[in-house]
Amino acid sequence: MTPISTADDYAPSPAQWVRDQVEAYEGSAGRLANTLRETGLAIIIVTTKGNKSGKVRKTPLMRVEHDGEYALVASMGGAPKNPVWYYNLTADPDSVAIQDGPAPFDVSVREISGDERALWWERAVAAFAPYADYQLKTQRQIPVFVASRQS
């Protein structure tokens, strides 16, 4: 099976600002468009496999990294529903890649809960304080995944 980091059946996001950020980040090997607008806060590009279309999807997320692992926070600005990339991760947790710099690498993800989630949630809010506000805005517990490099 082709690793998702090299798959090429890419279907861009319908959201122009998201599409543009992915294009600028990838086109500059991570030197440009690597923050959330002018916040100066770092982002990563997460590649997933569409659980319905099978297409390659690319989603900028805030960079929450610790000892080489990353938290992927399905905040969607505190909206009542999960972002749909959440369902791509749950459907195929080993067809995921992260780009945090020049080139993407394949990762496996798992959704976390309990004390482990609390620890990573603290790290996430430290990296991007608005996550705490988003959680206050919604009844949904914002899902958190941990991504680890595939060996």
Site residues (CB under 6 A) for ligand F42?
13-15, 17-18, 21, 36, 43, 50-53, 55, 57, 59-62, 73-76, 83-85, 87-88
Instruction: Identify which of residues 133 and 151 has a Cβ nearer to ligand F42 in the complex.
Output: 133
Q: How many CB atoms lie under 10 A from the CB of residue 31? A: 11
Residue, CB closest to ligand F42? 50
Residue 88 beta carbon to ligand F42: minimum distance, rounded to whole angstroms = 5
Q: How many CB atoms lie under 10 A from the CB of residue 18? A: 14
Instruction: Give CA–CA dist 92/88, Å, rounded.
Output: 6
Instruction: Give CA–CA dist 94/92, Å, rounded.
Output: 6
Residue 151 beta carbon to ligand F42: minimum distance, rounded to whole angstroms = 26
Looking at residue 63, its amino acid is R
Instruction: Identify which of residues 80 and 151 has a Cβ nearer to ligand F42 in the complex.
Output: 80
Residue 18 CB contacts under 8 Å (≥ 6 apart), including other chains: 59, 60
Instruction: Identify which of residues 29 and 91 has a Cβ nearer to ligand F42 in the complex.
Output: 91
The secondary element (H helix, E strand) that includes residue 29 is none
Residue 114 beta carbon to ligand F42: minimum distance, rounded to whole angstroms = 21
Instruction: Identify which of residues 138 and 151 has a Cβ nearer to ligand F42 in the complex.
Output: 138
